[in-house]
Amino acid sequence: MSESEPDVPTELVDLSDIDIDTLRTLSDPVFVRSLHHVVRADADAGVVVVAGFDPPRVVVS
């Protein structure tokens, strides 16, 4: 694998250096897109739970 290969595209915004006060003010497009990604993923998983089949929200083995 080449070192020059680009990073894998990710969908979660890095909030490592964000404090609680700042968290409430963020509104840039990267943040908003990531926020929607998390909320949508939760909702998708929730819908399937209601339908009776299990998504990997909970993986029981």
Partner 1 sequence: MTRLHRLSPGQFSGLARGAGGVDALAVLRAAQRSKHLLRLRAVIDAAERDPSVWSAASVAGNLAALADVQRRAPLEVRALLEHPQIGAWSAACLARLRSAGLPPVWDLAYLGNIALAAAVRASVDVRVVVAAGPAGVTLPATGRAALPCAGDAVLPAALDDGGVLRFAGGHAVDVHGDPSWLPMRRVYAGEPPLLFAADLDDLDPYRDGYGFPPGDRLDDSAAEGWAAAVREAWTVLCATDRDRASGVAATVRSLIPPGRPAPAAGSSASSRDANGAVALAGPGRGLDVAVTLVHEAQHSALNGLHDLTTLFHPDTGARYCSPWRDDPRPLAGLLHGVYAFLAVAEFWRARHERLGDPAAGFEFARVEAQVLAAHRVLTQAPGLTPSGARVVTGTAETLAGWPRVDVPADARRVAEDLLTEHRIHWRLRNLPPSPATTARLAADWDAAARDATAWATGHRLAAGWDAGNRDAAGWDAGERDAAGWDAGERDAAGWDAADRGAADGDLGEWASEGRDAAGPDAAGSDSRDRADQDAADRDSDSGGGPPAGRFAGDPGDATRGAVLVPRQRSAGGTLLGQAHRRFVTGEPPADPGSVTARLVAGGYATAAHECLRLIAAGAADDDTWVHLAIAEGRRISGGDAALAEMLGGDGRPELLVAVHRRLSAAGRIASPSALAAWLSDAVPA
Q: Which residues are at the interface with partner 1 (CB under 8 A)?
A: 1-2, 5-16, 18-21, 23-24, 26, 28, 30-31, 34-35, 38-39, 41-46, 48-49, 52-61
What's the number of CA atoms in the CB half-sphere (13 Å) around residue 12? 5
Beta carbon of residue 11, minimum distance to partner 1 (angstroms, whole number): 6
Q: Are 55 and 45 in contact (CB under 8 A)?
A: yes
Q: In the complex, what is the shortest distance from the CB of residue 58 to partner 1, in angstroms, rounded to a whole number?
A: 4
Overall size of the chain counted in residues = 61
Least CB distance to partner 1 at residue 22 (A): 9
Token digits for 22? 């700042």
